[in-house]
Chain A
Amino acid sequence: MSNLLTGDVLAVLNSGSGAPLFLTVGNLFRSDDGVGPYLASRLVVLPVRIVNAGHTPENIIDEVVGHKPSRIIILDAADFGGRPGEVRVIPEEAIPETTLTTHRVPMNVISRLIKDDTGAKVVFLGIQPKTVSLGEGLTPEVQAAADEIIETIKSSLRGLPR
């Protein structure tokens, strides 16, 4: 059983309704905002479909649509006022319509367009950052959360819920 992830987050990661496509978002040079790309770098060796959007998620819509996914899990740093490393399922309506980082097209716009084109179910998993200031590497709290997410996905692939 995961120590850090709550039941609803585990339910998303363990859900057996079709292999999900993982869409990761974030900037590696913004400390914990790099958690998405970090997850991508670890997930890429697993038998899962993954698209790392980095800091230009608006540019990967066609690539994601090309995978014809039925379920998409978006992994991104999200400031929801939680404790650093906390992971939450973020309702789509809670995602601000403004850019989350400079000049970024809002994620709900991207999500909506992908859903329109694929009919996929999209779930946002937000990881609370400790800091998104300039710098490389994750803080220990966010690193721990990311590692838990990876272990959960690995277990899910083996058919073993965590």
Chain B
Amino acid sequence: MGRNVNVNVEYLTRVEGHGNIVVNVRDGVLEKCELDVIESPRFFEGMLRGRSIFEAQHITSRICGICSCGHTLASIQAAEDAIGFKPSKQTTELRKFLLHMETLDSHILHIYLLVAPDLLGVKSFVPLISSHNEVVRRALRMKKWCNDVCDILVGRHVHPISSIVGGFTKLPDVKALDAMLDILTKMRPDMDETVKLAASLKFPQFERETEYIALVNDTDEYPFLEGDIGSTDGKRWKKKDYRQVTNEFMVEHSSAKFCKANRESYMVGALARFNLNAAKLHPKAKAVADAIGMKPIVKNPYLNTAAQLIESVHCLEDAIRILEDFQKKGIDPKEAVVVGLNENNAVKVHAGNGVGAVEVPRGILFHDYEVDAKGVIVNANCIIPTGQNLNNIEYDMKKLVPEILDKTDEEITLALEMLVRAYDPCISCSAHFLNVKFVNR
């Protein structure tokens, strides 16, 4: 008779989403393998209805405390797309810079706080204070520096104020540019140490064929802010056709919708971006990829963390490049915009539909707005990366569990938790807070 396993991991999270891992193996046969998402709907799309596109980004930024810049920028992009506004090159570069800071901040937190404890063999981040004190301090130092740069550029550590439809209400002066560059230059030695640490970590061996989806473009830029939607299966869509990619559907065990494109599931996030765009990474990031043996297409989802490391190097170096460019050519202060709710028609508005597609730390984020002639949102749709990954995580679990049935209950549970954490889902605040019940053993 084969083995019976019943794993019930409650819960995967507390605030941004509640989730359970449920696995049931009877006589060696996998009967059930689900990632149950039981979070309540948050109704942000409903909140947007009737609100001006000039305040939408302040509302959507509150969807997530770690991706607040990404939601802000997706919101602005959807609004500008709807009214046919083209941002200036200066604005676009500053937005890319802002996104780099958020991605760097988020990846550093994920690598250090959520993944490293597993791979360093401790139960959580807290014991690292004793065993790896400098690692803890480095993680918090790097995070703070990213937040400090955001504070200088957009007026807050998180939830930006000055980034709006039309551009920025306040632009960095020479002193601010110097201050941001000073911070990021100081971060380089810490990034070197981060690479050393992460390169020494041993990730679990596991592979599954799947589809990877991320922004793609025809330039030599590693895309975060602009581009079409691309797939490792060779498909390419305009961002307005994002619904052909996401194909949201309901499952009984989840209050979050699941997604699929060309296959039964797809993955978004750092690994998807790496698999589609690795050739466009900054040379220093490419060197890290080479050093740790990452070459597209990487099919091990645990290596999403390694892709985050590579992207961290890219974001830091590209952010420094953007600042150095601005130091050389200067920032045009006349581009600062004072819009408010556009009471004085500073930005020309017309009715329309618009889509924002932005690569945030966990993957491609869509905001879709229908706007009336006054710039008021009539309908809104937001599809977050974690929602797109849930289905893929479940298919990974279904392949992984039968492969590790010779392991102990604790090892199976840990492997599943680590798998979910590797995706860095917004429901992963919980990382080390899982109650596990085994029965039939």
By a beta-carbon cutoff of 8 Å, the part of chain A in contact with chain B is 29, 55-56, 58-59, 61-62, 96-106, 108-109, 112-113, 116, 134
Given A98-B429, A102-B429, A103-B429: A56 and B126 interface contact (C-beta under 8 Å): no
Contact assessment for A56 and B157 in the assembled complex, using a CB-CB cutoff below 8 Å: yes
- Which of the segments B136-144, B178-186, B322-330, B403-411 contacts the partner chain? B136-144
Contact assessment for B137 and A113 in the assembled complex, using a CB-CB cutoff below 8 Å: yes
Q: B403 → chain A, closest Cβ, in Å? A: 29
Q: How far is the CA of A42 from the CA of B140 in the complex (A)?
A: 29
Q: Binding site of A, secondary structure by majority: helix, strand, loop or mixed? A: loop
> Does B113 interact with chain A (Cβ within 8 Å)?
yes
The chain B residue sitting closest to A59, CB to CB, is B144
Contact assessment for B433 and A112 in the assembled complex, using a CB-CB cutoff below 8 Å: no
Contact assessment for A97 and B124 in the assembled complex, using a CB-CB cutoff below 8 Å: yes
Other A-B pairs, 12, CB within 8 Å; known A97-B124, A134-B62? A97-B432, A98-B124, A98-B431, A98-B433, A99-B15, A99-B430, A102-B65, A103-B109, A104-B429, A106-B126, A109-B129, A113-B129
Q: Which of A55, A61, A97 contacts B433 (CB 8 A)?
A: A97
6 of the cross-chain contacts (CB-CB < 8 Å) are A55-B65, A59-B147, A62-B144, A97-B125, A102-B16, A102-B65
Q: B391 → chain A, closest Cβ, in Å? A: 22
Residues of A within 8 A of B113 (CB): 105
Q: Which of B42, B136, B157 contacts A59 (CB 8 A)?
A: B157
Contact assessment for B109 and A56 in the assembled complex, using a CB-CB cutoff below 8 Å: no
Q: How far is the CA of A96 from the CA of B435 in the complex (A)?
A: 13
Q: How far is the CA of A110 from the CA of B29 in the complex (A)?
A: 45
Give residues of chain B (119-159) contacting chain A, Cβ–Cβ below 8 Å. Answer: 123-126, 129, 133, 136-137, 140, 143-144, 147-148, 157-158
The chain A residue sitting closest to B112, CB to CB, is A105
Q: A8 → chain B, closest Cβ, in Å? A: 25
Q: A157 → chain B, closest Cβ, in Å? A: 31
Give residues of chain B (348-382) contacting chain A, Cβ–Cβ below 8 Å. Answer: none
Q: B182 → chain A, closest Cβ, in Å? A: 16
> Does B426 interact with chain A (Cβ within 8 Å)?
yes
Q: Which of A58, A99, A102, A116 contacts B140 (CB 8 A)?
A: A58
The chain A residue sitting closest to B428, CB to CB, is A103
Query: B284-296 CB contact bits vs A (8 Å, 1 = yes)?
Result: 0000000000000
Q: Which of B133, B426, B432 contacts A98 (CB 8 A)?
A: B432
Q: Which of B14, B123, B136, B429 contacts A113 (CB 8 A)?
A: B136
> Does B161 interact with chain A (Cβ within 8 Å)?
no
Residues of A within 8 A of B123 (CB): 97
The chain B residue sitting closest to A29, CB to CB, is B62
The chain A residue sitting closest to B427, CB to CB, is A102
Residues of B within 8 A of A56 (CB): 147, 157-158
Given A56-B147, A102-B65, A113-B136: A108 and B126 interface contact (C-beta under 8 Å): yes
Q: A24 → chain B, closest Cβ, in Å? A: 16
The chain A residue sitting closest to B430, CB to CB, is A98
The chain A residue sitting closest to B44, CB to CB, is A134
Q: How far is the CA of A103 from the CA of B124 in the complex (A)?
A: 14
> Does B64 interact with chain A (Cβ within 8 Å)?
yes
> Does B215 interact with chain A (Cβ within 8 Å)?
no
Contact assessment for A58 and B143 in the assembled complex, using a CB-CB cutoff below 8 Å: yes
Q: Which of B126, B137, B143 contacts A97 (CB 8 A)?
A: B126
Residues of B within 8 A of A29 (CB): 62
Given A98-B432, A101-B65, A102-B66: A113 and B140 interface contact (C-beta under 8 Å): yes
